[in-house]
Amino acid sequence: MTNAIEAEHRPGRGPAIVLVHGNSSSRAIWRPLMAHLAGRELLAMDLRGHGASAWARPPDYSTAGYADDIARAVERLAGRAFVLVGHSNGALSAAYYAAHHQPKPKALVYIDISPSVPASQVSYFHQRAASVDRLWTSLEKLTTTMSAADPTVPTGAFAAYLSEFAEPVEGGLRQMLDPMTFGAWAPADVWEDLRSLAMPLHLVRGATSRVLSTEVAEEMRARLPMARFHQINGAGHFLMLAKPERLAAIIEEAILDIEAVGACED
């Protein structure tokens, strides 16, 4: 597959932080977080079928396919060390990348999704593929609909994100998204991938998340005892928009873990 993967690269001090968004999203969702990571080297990418990246034809929207996109984006770092940060479907892809690809990230921050997505959730996406191509008559209406999915996010934060993710077309706006990212979504089970990782692993959940349940979060704590678990109060699934400063602090903790591991190895 010929697949152009677009990414925004900001120079800064290392290790680099590679940001991988979730389903029906783009690199624009990381803007508030990036502001709290000023001075760090940042690489925010658009996965295939999302934002400015090419649509996959034939439509491969599998976890392994998305991990290949991460590999393409990471090439921009020219071998420099990096932390991998993935949200939702991007977290599944980041975990798969960390387990199966080189170069390895120095740490993984895995955000707000079960390592094994329930079949009912996958089916929900498949059934809603046609809705992706919906025409929105105004940014306000799109923002109102998105805000209902996570009331913890300030309306202005959703509007700013969606102003980048929705493109003007005749009659209104459309999200920059291939409908087949829903229709052909094929998430892998990444439990064993997470268990296999030797680098620092940070698991993050929004306290009111509708995607990662309390029960699955507790199971993750039990089955992944080597990981550090963080729950962000006052945030739901889109915690990078609701509490970007808290997520930035967790990423900085992961970097400190890398430095501690390095000191032990010395």
Summarize pLDDT for 50-64 with one digit per residue, the tens.
999 999 999 999 999
With pLDDT > 70 as the criterion, what percentage of the chain qualifies?
Answer: 97
Q: Is residue 2 part of a domain?
A: no
The partner residues of 173 in beta bridges, in order of sequence, read: 136, 168
pLDDT band at 2 (very low <50, low <70, confident <90, very high): very low
Instruction: List helix spans (H) across the chain.
Output: 31-35, 63-74, 89-100, 119-127, 139-149, 155-165, 180-183, 191-196, 214-223, 239-242, 244-265
CATH number for position 205: 3.40.50.1820
pLDDT band at 260 (very low <50, low <70, confident <90, very high): confident
Q: Is residue 219 part of a domain?
A: yes
For residue 91, give Cα distances in angstroms to 21, 127, 262.
8, 23, 25
Q: Is residue 18 part of a domain?
A: yes
Residue 29 DSSP symbol: G
Determine the residue type at 207. Answer: A
What pLDDT shows up at residue 259? 78
Q: Is residue 129 part of a domain?
A: no
Name residues whose C-beta falls within 8 Å of residue 199's C-beta, 6 or more positions apart in sequence.
Answer: 98, 104, 105, 106, 107, 108, 258
What pLDDT shows up at residue 133? 87
Mean pLDDT of 53-80: 97
φ, ψ at 247 (rounded to 5°): -65, -40
Q: Is residue 67 part of a domain?
A: yes
Taking alpha carbons only, the member of 253, 232, 266, 262 closest to residue 108 is 253
The partner residues of 169 in beta bridges, in order of sequence, read: 172
Mean pLDDT of 155-179: 95
Q: Is residue 43 part of a domain?
A: yes
Helix (H) or strand (E) holding 83: strand 82-87
Q: Is residue 168 part of a domain?
A: no
Q: Is residue 20 part of a domain?
A: yes
pLDDT of 239 over the 70 cut = yes
Residue 234 DSSP symbol: T
Mean pLDDT of 175-192: 97
Taking a C-beta distance cutoff of 8 angstroms, is the pair 185, 122 a contact? yes
User: How many distinct structural domains can be found in the chain?
Assistant: 1
Residue 129 DSSP symbol: G
Give the structural domain span for 98. 7-122+184-265
Taking alpha carbons only, the member of 131, 82, 110 closest to residue 255 is 82
pLDDT of 69 over the 50 cut = yes
Q: How many Å apart are CA 162 and CA 146, to the nearest integer?
A: 9
Q: How many Å apart are CA 234 and CA 228, to the nearest integer?
A: 20
Taking a C-beta distance cutoff of 8 angstroms, is the pair 84, 96 a contact? no
* Average pLDDT over the chain, rounded to an integer: 95
Taking a C-beta distance cutoff of 8 angstroms, is the pair 56, 1 a contact? yes
Taking a C-beta distance cutoff of 8 angstroms, is the pair 85, 19 a contact? yes
pLDDT of 1 over the 60 cut = no
Residue 228 three-state SS? strand
